[in-house]
Amino acid sequence: MTITRTAVVTGAARGIGAVVARRLADDGFPVAVLDLDEGVCKPVVDQIEAAGGRALAVGVDVADEEAVAAAVERVAAELGEPTVLVNNAGIIRDNLLFKMTVADWDAVMNVHLRGSFLMSRAVQGYMTKAGFGRIVNLSSTSALGNRGQVNYAAAKAGLQGFTKTLALELGKFGVTANAIAPGFIESEMTAATAERMGIPFEDFKAGAAQQIPVARTGTPADVAHAVSFFVSEGAGFVSGQVLYVAGGPKA
């Protein structure tokens, strides 16, 4: 008997999250597409459904405890009890330490860390009951330190410790937890960084590619492929790991 497992992807209206959502749908998962605005999730849902998959758009602020609980309950009722979670939602508020505001620090921590905590806590009951679960957290090579990103780097490093602890606590219930730490990925976020620096995006990518052993920058599909592995049935003996999807051994 084939068991249908429902996946939840946060920050899935665009960029890496949208590509991950479509990849998981291609893998056969019904996918809940979560983002701040339910309306902007609809195009991704439409793409999944047009390809023959099942999807649900849900608007939620992942840092809001009550909103997260309601969103997960809705997914369970309308799409299926979630046993796969990809914590992808993220924001940047870059600045040097002496210029960074408390609001910029808190905003990044709330989305990345509080959001991943709230989402994981909300779905773990479904996972432990099913005796199967897959949690994938999106970290970053910035976890190793990155100038102008003290908030983002701290949050992404924190997600690695969070992931390893989830693996320890939930493993006996058939639930794995892993993290993916992308390097330079072509996305709206990196395009915005180039714009802020006053560099054409193509030049920005070319400069980054020169520092990467595989001589190219990454794409959201590279990250989605790694997610696909971690959430698969066959990856049940892989947990608590951080996979650097960065084109080489160094960030």
Question: How far is residue 4 from each of residues 25, 30, 31, 81, 162, measured CA to CA in Å?
Answer: 11, 8, 11, 10, 27
Q: Token match 């990103």: residue?
A: 149
| CB burial of residue 101 (10 Å; 0-12, 13-18, 19+) | exposed
Count of C-beta atoms within a 10 Å radius of residue 195? 12
Residue with tokens 């997914």: 75
Token pair of 183 as six digits: 């390097």
Annotated catalytic residue: which of 29, 117, 126, 152? 152
126 belongs to the catalytic site = no
**DSSP label at residue 52:** T
Q: Give, as one character, the DSSP assignment of residue 95.
A: B
Q: Are 124 and 133 in contact (CB under 8 A)?
A: yes
Whether residue 115 contacts residue 62, with contact meaning beta carbons closer than 8 Å, is answered with yes
Q: How far is CA 108 from CA 153, 185, 197, 223, 233, in A?
A: 10, 19, 21, 21, 32
The set of catalytic residues is 152
